[in-house]
Structure 1
């Protein structure tokens, strides 16, 4: 569950912003830039509001990997920092299990509640509907609105909203389009404050607009007298592409016959021209200003402003006979505009394939204001990203906020969309006190997985894994300080992403003696997988002395799957991979020189193919003290497999001193086995952790095996050299390390009856469980279905684990730290874990009793759905149990999070609600 992770891997994209006059204001954020992550894949911003207290509310959409697209809200403090009182870390993503949703427009009620209108597209029939959602001021869904906070106007035809506004009594007016066969109607809907259709408006709550075959209702405003202004464009005639209309309706939904203007062209009407209605606003004096984009017969585009009297007649005192046109490029469009307290008009525009967000300012008489930007136009360049500015808001101090969407391209394909916010000073220069040099990018992230861990000599912690970028996967390395905070001296952000122009997956990370970092993984090339090695400098930059670009890709002709790597003291790198040819699978061992070239002193080619005549798969490799290579995995014989361990000399030849043949197989008597880690003790004995399976994945066993240096089983260890530890029906180990005192730490998972728990086992050197560790040698952590991938220990004896979720769509970089003592409390970085919470019954219907292993004192209970949204919260809970009502929840899988009010310890439990 994304909200329950211990340490969250976040992506922060930072770009240089240059204002027209170059003036900086460094009092906002970090040199004016703030980057955030809301754990989603693609985001777009469509609206922005400034609350009475000056906080900034942004609306858009966000998409999570393998989940529906949803409505995204983010609230910022005045300085651009995240408002922690809103949602989860200032952010809310609302999804509906049956729909893809996009936020279109938002408004704030008098009671501070937030109304959002959006488009909801059903996943099965693909019909789009109007959706309304209401939130409390803290970002929680308001369940008193509509049905559980939602109104979805489902019809048999597409209904797409374009704009929304509120009456002072809370009624909601929405405009948009209704598509019926080949005709598109403009529509105006009015809802009561509770989300029901207001039948006092046009009898059935809806008014349609029809002039031609295409009619779009783009914008809506309510006058102080309650009358409704609706603007849009219509087309379909052979004489023109489209023209504008501006209608005014009485409160009952009838057209206001006293309003002069209903339908008009650019004056005079010209055949084969196109004009689109973008926005409208009402001045304090009641005059009406509209914004449009116009394309003439010569393919020249203009931004058009018109002003009308309250009666609907054109205001001849504005610009040139009521109309102001500004010539722009063919690919430039206006989006929205706003009015300052002094009557000046701010217009947001964008140009396709341009990295500039553009704002124009006009005087109250319609003339460009040359005191703003350069000749009335401020251009904000965002390097390497296409920016579409969608909305403008004005703060009480006159500073200007713009929000929109950044489109990141790769080979002309959009690979990512992010929200962005800019803030300008009143003269059009960027406010460098806001975000990062006047700009804030909100990246709602993606799916990340941590695969391996390494600890530097200074105690800093490295995690390697991969992240989905919207198109494919890239390798990610994150570095933490010993206290778990991101190390910003590492690539400035604490993390580095590397793309090798395909999908890349990290499998192993190791540190050279000089501090350089090597990551081994898999790179997919068309239908094949190759080996990839990447080397970084200690500061996180790519080491270009490593094969000129920091990356080495090795293709052995078929599929190669990297599993593990290790580094010699002299900097040479040894890597183990599965090698698949057309006939069978073998183990490939490769050795590289320090510059990334294959080491030809190793088996003449730098490569050893290990083949026993069967299928072999590698689980792990390591180096002995004498630089010989230890490899473990398994050997398949038909439907059975044994744990396979081999030792290879430094020249690449099998070590015949290891069980004569250079390898040994061990039958766990469970049908199938796999060695997952291998390490040499100080006395030369070899320890292998593994998994035994006698029922194809439904009955797994932990196994720990110790061999003598000769390859024979060490009969002084466990039972004839093997230790089994049975905790549940499913137990497995992924990694093992040996402490300086000879005790053994094993990390993996066990089954708790519903999902997997992280487990750490500590053994004495003879194979017995160490009862000084968590009283019984076993530490089990119920942590949102995560399991341990890798384990490491620092000089102080602290244990660190990187973990991964068994659910593909719920993954983040997770790092846990566990105390290495008798204490029965495990400490995770950022959050501590209490022992247990149980739900009875589970699955449940409308109620269940939560039972706690220790007495809670003023605790908080949170329930999160599978889309990473908190859907219910109960505070001030004390005692050993609590009966919780679940009436507001639909059927599905939830995570219950319990946070103790006194100790701030937390735990989580999966909960299933039935229909």
Structure 2
């Protein structure tokens, strides 16, 4: 029988969490509705959405308007409000919303907020939530229609932009000839109740010429100066029968302001009488008393331009603003389209559009957002690239340091940062993780090659987008929490990136299949070469390279495992040949290196692990290495021969590499072995793999062996024989000798906990792990398992959901802290004490002790002393507090030890 000693001071955080359930404190927030994709969609899948207007409201929320019907898996039709963190504000509900939206009939200025928080929304719709509302509507704070706003029959054409004056009156621009039955050519001003303000008189209004025919002008943008004069931009050639190409300034009563001297105005050269240019956005800069205009503008008043200009208040070009850096599609000498711009509080200007490629960037994956300094030069500290089949930025809004970018795109900065047409970026162009983050790795192919926990609770992990995947710009980087990784990355215990060491790991560029730690705070990393790296991400260059490893028989190189001996030497196993410098001999699938990385020639494996790999198969390989007493070494994997000794997937070696015939495995395993762990406290070997028998005895996928290789009859596999690809692939052992295992049986991926006798622990949550597609194999959804210092469970692999909760490739599971102790009479050891305590290197007891086991404060087994030793050396342990389990005959006790 077992008892569990609970560490009471650690207990409260675990009181309400079942073991094996997700720890929601790791990498929070998560997407409550758990879509595979982030952001908006018009198809119920990644991409497809077009957002035309985003507006940051006074309360920090964001109004979003465009062609979409889903946000993060939640139905929402064409108009939504997001909370500052990117979650959907469910208190705002427009029901069916507008019946129609279209980019051609839109702009970045289709939403305005009144001082009372109500929203004016314009567009090309005929109904709103099933109610007849033509092209303009006012909404209450909850998204319902404000019926006190009455525009009559409204406009007979679409409305593209709206602006509220300081007196509350509403300016509307678009392409129409009438408003509520009265003649208004493309612009009108309304009173606060929706009626027409007849004091605003634009005469004949705005006209355009297309193929020598006069048509309605189109208003795309309106801004208001401090003196209440109104700047209007769009696509037109005349205002009230005066030549005004695409730009005009009006007095507050609607008449032309003749002090605004723009000459022939702005746009492209006309062709066959057609106006080819237009202005998408005007912004009045109150601090400089200047005016920014942007759009399709190749010339302005006869002067060449590049789609962005700054004008003096009198309409002349401000020559101190020299913008000439943005060119068009694929690096060609033609301008892209700038659909929107945003003037930030620091005076810099953000530009977004289509075909905006920066600094002669070539290819279709180039920058669609540019930041411009106050003198017109490009701000090279800002780097934000949006990617998609059709990539456009229609709207940019900012407040303080918050920049919201929207349009039509799927991902950001060439990485699989799926945003669904809306993203919040920082001042340097990186995505802002406070808004709708993709936490973990890529959700479409979420995969971690390796992960390991450190003593301080931090994590080293290797996220990867997909093995051998190359990004459109040629990069082969991975991704974690929306930041580029080049192999390994250091993660804080809460799931955030450890920023202090981020650059070091990025520079080291180490991809690792397998990680371990030594006692000097080094990480041992393998794939395909074994290297030492500090916990800070810096490579230990004093450790010799193993780059002479080559592939056997033209098969890919794999270092599958390595084991660190007490003397600092490292045993390396996998599917490789190591070429010994100078003598032309090989180390076949197994080698040992000295603590400095040089080959240990005293480790004599002869011909080593043999067997010819067959193309299309897993090949012969050493998959796992376990160090056992008397300096012996147990290997597991896929092999049939060791130095001419017939074996079957398991072998034990002496310390010098020679075959140990005393290991009684008989006919051994009938299929692959994936992992072997030696349980020091019970002196057993636990083995997992693809096998269904051992030495002709049934044992499906997991078995426990005695130290001599015979079967431990006290442990029985809980699994029946499954389909061909059934297997147990990974495992860790808890301090109470329970086993956390992962694998796949009959097509079902699982993570389970077994009791020490092999029965399934039903107190451990039974979860389902799913992924869109697999990067490593159909049995690697949970590829890595390790225990954190607080005894919680770190898992990583190829999953993007656990049950119905979004987790992209990495998660922490709840697990109770404990120490397992046998049922002994503890009272007889109550007079035992330790000295010295605290201790630096060596401690003793005041009487003889049969056995001492050392555990971390959280209950993790570390080390055991036996055979009535009198002095106990712990020089290799780090400073900290440890728990000793002391056994003498049939009595025991626990004591606390402090290591200085």
Give the TM-score, by structure 2 length: 0.52
Please give the per-residue CA displacement for 1:238-262, whole angstroms capped at 9, x wherever unaligned.
Answer: xxxxx95148999xxxx98989999
| Corresponding residue for residue 785 of structure 1 | 769
| Corresponding residue for residue 49 of structure 2 | 101
Does residue 318 of the first structure (1) align with residue 314 of the second (2)? Answer: yes
| Corresponding residue for residue 519 of structure 1 | 525
Please give the per-residue CA displacement for 1:516-539, whole angstroms capped at 9, x wherever unaligned.
Answer: 102224xxxxxxxxx244432132
| Corresponding residue for residue 623 of structure 1 | 627
Tell me, yes or no, if the aligned pair for 1:788 and 1:802 is still in contact at 8 Å: yes
Does residue 165 of the first structure (1) align with residue 111 of the second (2)? Answer: yes
User: What is the CA-CA distance between 1:120 and the residue it aligns to?
Assistant: 5.2
SS for the counterpart of 1:492 is helix
Tell me, yes or no, if the aligned pair for 1:731 and 1:749 is still in contact at 8 Å: no
Closer, same or farther: CA 165–739 of 1 in aligned 2, 3 Å: closer
Closer, same or farther: CA 339–757 of 1 in aligned 2, 3 Å: closer
Please give the per-residue CA displacement for 1:819-857, whole angstroms capped at 9, x wherever unaligned.
Answer: 25599xxxxxxxxxxxxxxxxxxxxxxxxxxxxxxxxxx
| Corresponding residue for residue 39 of structure 2 | 70
Closer, same or farther: CA 731–402 of 1 in aligned 2, 3 Å: closer
SS for the counterpart of 1:724 is coil
| Corresponding residue for residue 352 of structure 1 | 358
Please give the per-residue CA displacement for 1:608-666, whole angstroms capped at 9, x wherever unaligned.
Answer: 44569996465533223444432224579xxxxx9832234455554344348xx8523
Tell me the distance in 2 between the aligned counterparts of 1:804 and 1:439. Answer: 22
Tell me, yes or no, if the aligned pair for 1:165 and 1:174 is still in contact at 8 Å: no
Closer, same or farther: CA 191–593 of 1 in aligned 2, 3 Å: farther
| Corresponding residue for residue 911 of structure 1 | none
Query: Which of the residues 669, 674, 678 maps onto 1:666?
Result: 669
SS for the counterpart of 2:764 is strand
User: What is the CA-CA distance between 1:270 and the residue it aligns to?
Assistant: 6.3
Tell me the distance in 2 between the aligned counterparts of 1:268 and 1:619. Answer: 68
| Corresponding residue for residue 740 of structure 2 | 747
Closer, same or farther: CA 648–108 of 1 in aligned 2, 3 Å: same
SS for the counterpart of 1:565 is strand
Tell me the distance in 2 between the aligned counterparts of 1:453 and 1:464. Answer: 4
Does residue 540 of the first structure (1) align with residue 534 of the second (2)? Answer: no
SS for the counterpart of 2:573 is strand
Closer, same or farther: CA 38–794 of 1 in aligned 2, 3 Å: closer
Tell me, yes or no, if the aligned pair for 2:373 and 2:379 is still in contact at 8 Å: no
Which aligned pairs between 1:342-491 and structure 2 lie closer than 5 A? 347-348=349-350, 352-353=358-359, 360-361=373-374, 382=381, 393=398, 414-415=414-415, 419-422=424-427, 444=438, 446-447=441-442, 449-450=447-448, 452=450, 454=452, 456=454, 458=455, 460=457, 462-468=459-465, 472=476, 474=478, 477=488, 484-485=493-494
User: What is the CA-CA distance between 1:121 and the residue it aligns to?
Assistant: 11
Query: Which of the residues 134, 142, 167 maps onto 2:81?
Result: 134
Unaligned stretches of 5+ residues in structure 1: 11-36, 41-63, 72-92, 124-128, 177-187, 236-242, 308-316, 362-375, 406-412, 424-433, 522-530, 581-585, 637-641, 695-699, 770-775, 824-915
Tell me the distance in 2 between the aligned counterparts of 1:534 and 1:681. Answer: 27
User: What is the CA-CA distance between 1:109 and the residue it aligns to?
Assistant: 6.1
Tell me the distance in 2 between the aligned counterparts of 1:657 and 1:712. Answer: 11
Closer, same or farther: CA 560–234 of 1 in aligned 2, 3 Å: farther
Tell me the distance in 2 between the aligned counterparts of 1:778 and 1:552. Answer: 48
Please give the per-residue CA displacement for 1:746-768, whole angstroms capped at 9, x wherever unaligned.
Answer: 112599999866422231xxx36
Closer, same or farther: CA 687–302 of 1 in aligned 2, 3 Å: closer
Tell me, yes or no, if the aligned pair for 1:701 and 1:724 is still in contact at 8 Å: no
SS for the counterpart of 1:620 is strand
Closer, same or farther: CA 768–283 of 1 in aligned 2, 3 Å: closer
Please give the per-residue CA displacement for 1:74-102, whole angstroms capped at 9, x wherever unaligned.
Answer: xxxxxxxxxxxxxxxxxxx9994375335
Which entry has the higher C-alpha Rg, 1 or 2?
Answer: 2
Please give the per-residue CA displacement for 1:565-612, whole angstroms capped at 9, x wherever unaligned.
Answer: 2223343333333579xxxxx993344454555555555899744569
Closer, same or farther: CA 121–337 of 1 in aligned 2, 3 Å: same
Please give the per-residue CA displacement for 1:701-723, whole angstroms capped at 9, x wherever unaligned.
Answer: 96442334443334x434xxx43
Closer, same or farther: CA 543–666 of 1 in aligned 2, 3 Å: same
Please give the per-residue CA displacement for 1:796-826, whole angstroms capped at 9, x wherever unaligned.
Answer: 9x46442446457842322335225599xxx
Closer, same or farther: CA 818–142 of 1 in aligned 2, 3 Å: closer
Please give the per-residue CA displacement for 1:257-279, whole angstroms capped at 9, x wherever unaligned.
Answer: 98999998447996899966352
Closer, same or farther: CA 96–211 of 1 in aligned 2, 3 Å: farther
Does residue 712 of the first structure (1) align with residue 721 of the second (2)? Answer: no
Tell me, yes or no, if the aligned pair for 1:600 and 1:606 is still in contact at 8 Å: no
Tell me, yes or no, if the aligned pair for 1:727 and 1:750 is still in contact at 8 Å: no
Closer, same or farther: CA 171–684 of 1 in aligned 2, 3 Å: closer
User: What is the CA-CA distance between 1:514 and the residue it aligns to?
Assistant: 1.8
Tell me, yes or no, if the aligned pair for 1:68 and 1:100 is still in contact at 8 Å: no
Tell me, yes or no, if the aligned pair for 2:69 and 2:78 is still in contact at 8 Å: no
Please give the per-residue CA displacement for 1:87-130, whole angstroms capped at 9, x wherever unaligned.
Answer: xxxxxx9994375335443225689864212455999xxxxx99
Tell me the distance in 2 between the aligned counterparts of 1:39 and 1:498. Answer: 26
SS for the counterpart of 1:658 is coil
| Corresponding residue for residue 245 of structure 1 | 246
Closer, same or farther: CA 570–677 of 1 in aligned 2, 3 Å: same
Closer, same or farther: CA 459–347 of 1 in aligned 2, 3 Å: closer
Tell me the distance in 2 between the aligned counterparts of 1:383 and 1:593. Answer: 47
| Corresponding residue for residue 649 of structure 2 | 644
| Corresponding residue for residue 56 of structure 1 | none
Tell me the distance in 2 between the aligned counterparts of 1:813 and 1:592. Answer: 32
Tell me the distance in 1 between the aligned counterparts of 2:784 and 2:611. Answer: 25
Tell me the distance in 1 between the aligned counterparts of 2:679 and 2:800. Answer: 34
SS for the counterpart of 1:780 is coil
Tell me the distance in 2 between the aligned counterparts of 1:357 and 1:726. Answer: 61
| Corresponding residue for residue 589 of structure 1 | 590
Closer, same or farther: CA 8–200 of 1 in aligned 2, 3 Å: farther
Please give the per-residue CA displacement for 1:401-426, whole angstroms capped at 9, x wherever unaligned.
Answer: 76779xxxxxxx94577853339xxx
| Corresponding residue for residue 203 of structure 1 | 156
Tell me, yes or no, if the aligned pair for 1:621 and 1:632 is still in contact at 8 Å: yes
User: What is the CA-CA distance between 1:172 and the residue it aligns to?
Assistant: 0.9
Q: Which stretch has the larger CA shift, 210-219 or 159-168?
A: 210-219
CA RMSD of aligned residues (A): 6.5
Higher strand fraction: Structure 1 or Structure 2?
1
Tell me the distance in 2 between the aligned counterparts of 1:393 and 1:576. Answer: 54
